[in-house]
């Protein structure tokens, strides 16, 4: 900011300037300013009254000259009544002028009201007063007459045909414009997706594959849980039989009195639930892994069986077509190769029970296979 002038600082630091800052001096200054402003307002009001009186006097003189009367005959107009009319007893010839002015004002008002209406409201007004307009019983301004003429011209056959042709042309142009805009959008999308579209489509395929994998895993999880429950129920039944046989053999060898009940002895020798579940989960996973080579062999045998069945069917059709009898050396029926399963039988479940008693001796998947996976 520019520095403050030193002259003003020195002037404000004088004794005279400090005297003006006192309270009484400030009140006196304010009072003097208010009195000056009040006197000025009074002077302006008097000047306004004088100009108003002068204007009224000029208007009176002009009206008297226009009416052709002398100023002495106009005694009804008061000088302090600017809004009053003059006495028109001497203006007998001006009644036609007054009526014309009133009619013109009424027509102007009707024209302005009609011009403020919207297009729909104008048509409704014309339809509502069509009879009165035709009979000329109501005022019909220039704008209304032009509106009526336009409506009459629009109802002509040439105008109707022309509007139909014009609407078709405009519709075609709009249609072409829309198609061009759509083509521009497609061109822009194709050019912009030429590089990034490959990435997006790849990611979309990956997401679709992930969803399929998740959906299939949810279904297989239910099936695996069901198979695990079936094996668990078989395990519990076979384990009871094994424990009962062991208790009988022990009672035959030893004649000592047991303090526990029979069911407590069976429960004591059972494998704990969490240990059994842990063992079965890992054992069934290993059995599913070792089943994969068998499944590959079964798929090859299935293909061979399908090829043999198709060949056998064609040979039979050819023999029947030629009218011969089928060779008796050919097999009458080809059995479908049985599909392998990782469900254990009773002997395998018993073996699992003995291995579970010794600890976590379940089958393990080879480490190199886990690394490859």
Of 10-19, 142-151, 152-161, 290-299, the range with the highest mean pLDDT is 290-299
What the block records as the tokens of 83 is: 């809004």
264 vs 51, 119, 150, 257, 279, CA distance in Å? 129, 101, 110, 14, 23
What pLDDT band is residue 160 in, cutting at 50, 70 and 90? Answer: confident
Q: Hey, what are 30's tokens?
A: 């304010």
- pLDDT given for residue 233 in this prediction: 92
Q: For residue 132, what are the contacts with CB-CB under 8 A and spacing of at least 6?
A: 138
> Nearest Cα to 76, choosing from 65, 64, 68?
64
The secondary structure of residue 313, as a DSSP letter, is: H
Distance between CA 267 and CA 239 in Å, rounded?
10
* Between 370 and 221, the higher pLDDT residue: 221
Average pLDDT value for residue range 250-266 = 75
The sign of the torsion formed by the CA atoms of 301, 302, 308, 309 equals positive
Residues 82-130: tens digit of each pLDDT: 444 444 444 555 677 777 788 778 778 877 887 888 878 887 877 777 7
Provide the percentage of residues in the chain whose pLDDT is more than 90.
18
pLDDT surpassing 80 at residue 306:
yes
Residue 145's pLDDT is 76
> What pLDDT, on a 0 to 100 scale, did the predictor assign at position 72?
46
In the predicted structure, residue 172 carries a pLDDT above the cut 80: yes
Q: Where residue 178 falls among pLDDT bands split at 50, 70, 90? A: very high
Mean pLDDT calculated for residue range 314-323: 79
What is residue 283's three-state secondary structure? Answer: helix
Tokens 């006197």 -> residue = 39
Instruction: Measure the CA–CA gap between 117 and 59, rounded to whole angstroms.
Output: 39
Q: Write b or e for each residue in 266-278: b if 16 or more Cβ atoms lie within 10 A of its Cβ, otherwise e.
A: beeebbeeeebee
pLDDT at res. 300: 92
Question: What DSSP string runs through 18-66?
Answer: HHHTSHHHHHHHHHHHHHHHHHHHHHHHHHHHHHHHHHHHHHHHHHHHH
CA distance 239 to 117: 99
CA angle centred on 136, ends 131 and 138, rounded to 5°? 85
Contacts of 74 (CB under 8 A, 6+ apart): 60, 64, 86, 87
Q: Whole-number mean pLDDT of the chain?
A: 80
pLDDT one-digit tens code per residue, 50-88: 888 888 888 888 888 776 544 444 444 444 444 444 444
């Amino acid at each position: 900011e520019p520095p403050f002038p030193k002259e003003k600082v020195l002037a404000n630091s004088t004794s005279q300037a400090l005297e003006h800052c006192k309270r009484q001096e400030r009140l006196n200054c304010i009072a003097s300013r208010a009195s000056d402003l009040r006197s000025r307002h009074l002077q302006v009001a008097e000047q306004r009254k004088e100009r108003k009186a002068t204007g009224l006097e000029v208007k009176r003189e002009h009206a008297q000259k226009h009416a052709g009367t002398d100023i002495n005959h106009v005694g009804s107009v008061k000088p302090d009544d600017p809004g009053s009319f003059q006495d028109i007893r001497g203006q007998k010839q001006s009644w036609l002028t007054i009526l014309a002015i009133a009619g013109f004002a009424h027509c102007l008002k009707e024209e302005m009201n009609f011009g403020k209406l919207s297009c729909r409201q104008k048509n409704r007004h014309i339809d509502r007063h069509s009879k009165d307009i035709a009979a000329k019983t109501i005022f019909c301004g220039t704008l209304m007459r032009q509106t009526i003429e336009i409506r009459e011209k629009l109802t002509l056959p040439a105008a109707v045909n022309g509007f139909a042709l014009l609407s078709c042309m405009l519709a075609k142009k709009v249609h072409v414009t829309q198609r061009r805009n759509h083509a521009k959008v497609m061109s822009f999308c194709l050019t912009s997706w030429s590089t990034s579209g490959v990435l997006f489509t790849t990611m979309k395929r990956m997401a679709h594959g992930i969803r399929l994998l998740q959906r299939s895993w949810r279904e297989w999880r239910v099936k695996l849980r069901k198979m695990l429950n079936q094996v668990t129920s078989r395990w519990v039944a076979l384990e009871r039989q094994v424990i009962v046989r062991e208790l009988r053999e022990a009672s035959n060898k030893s004649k000592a009195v047991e303090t526990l009940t029979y069911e407590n002895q069976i429960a004591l020798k059972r494998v704990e639930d969490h240990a059994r579940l842990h063992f079965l989960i890992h054992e069934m996973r290993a059995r599913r892994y070792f089943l994969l080579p068998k499944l590959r062999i079964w798929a090859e045998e299935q293909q061979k069986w399908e090829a043999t069945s198709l060949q056998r069917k064609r040979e039979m059709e050819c023999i029947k077509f030629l009218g011969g009898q089928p060779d008796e050396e050919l097999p009458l029926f080809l059995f479908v190769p049985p599909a392998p399963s990782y469900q254990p039988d009773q002997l395998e479940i018993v073996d699992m029970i003995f291995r579970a008693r010794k600890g976590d001796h379940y089958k393990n998947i080879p480490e190199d296979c886990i690394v490859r996976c």
